[in-house]
Amino acid sequence: MTRTVVTLIALVAIAGLFFVLLGLGTPDELGTVSRHYVERGIAENRAANLVTSVVVNYRGLDTLGEVTVLFLSVTGAAFVLRRRERKPVDAKASRASEIVQTGARVLVAPIMLFGAYIFVHGHLTPGGGFQGGAVVASGVLLLLLADRERELPHGLMSWLESLSGFAFVVAGLAGLWVAGSFLANRGVLPLGEWNRLLSAGIIPVIYILIGLKVGSELAALLDVMMRGEAVAGGPSGDRHRGGGKRHGGGTSRRAGKKRTKGGRR
Amino acid sequence: MIWLDALVCLLMVVVAVTATTVRNLVSAVIMVGVVSLLVSYLFLRMGAPDVAMTEAAIGAALTTVIFLIALRRTGEGR
Distance from CA of B45 to the nearest CA of A (A): 14
Extents of the domains making up chain A: 51-83+91-233
Structural domain harbouring B31: 2-74
Which A residues 237-256 touch B at CB under 8 Å? Answer: 241, 244-245, 249-252, 255
> Which residues are CB-neighbours of B32 under 8 A, at least 6 positions away?
B16, B19, B63, B64, B67
How far is residue A205's CA from residue A48's CA, in Å, rounded to a whole number? 15
Amino acid at A78: A
Of B54, B61, B72, the CB nearest to A130: B54
Helical (H) or strand (E) element with A18: helix A2-24
How far is residue A202's CA from residue A169's CA, in Å, rounded to a whole number? 12
Using the predicted structure, report yes or no on whether residue A261 has a pLDDT greater than 90: no
pLDDT digits (tens, 9 = 90+) for A136-162: 999 998 888 888 777 788 888 888 888
Q: Specify the pLDDT at position A260.
A: 45
Residues B28-56 have a mean pLDDT of 91
Compute and round to an integer the Cα radius of gyration of chain B.
14
Tell me whether residues B54 and A249 touch, CB distance under 8 A. Answer: no
User: How many distinct structural domains can be found in chain B?
Assistant: 1
pTM exceeds 0.90 for this model: no
Residue B12 dihedral angles phi and psi, to the nearest 5°: -60, -45
Concatenating the DSSP letter of every residue in B62-74 gives IHHHHHHHHHHHH
How far is residue A198's CA from residue A190's CA, in Å, rounded to a whole number? 9
Burial A153-174 (b: 16+ CB within 10 A, else e): eeeebeebbeebbebbeebbeb
Tell me whether residues B73 and A127 touch, CB distance under 8 A. Answer: no
Q: Does B21 touch chain A (CB under 8 A)?
A: no
| Of A260, A255, A264, A258, the residue nearest A81 (C-alpha) | A255
Residue A95 dihedral angles phi and psi, to the nearest 5°: -85, 135
Chain B contacts of A244, Cβ < 8 Å? 75
pLDDT digits (tens, 9 = 90+) for A193-242: 777 777 777 888 888 898 999 999 888 888 888 776 444 444 444 444 44
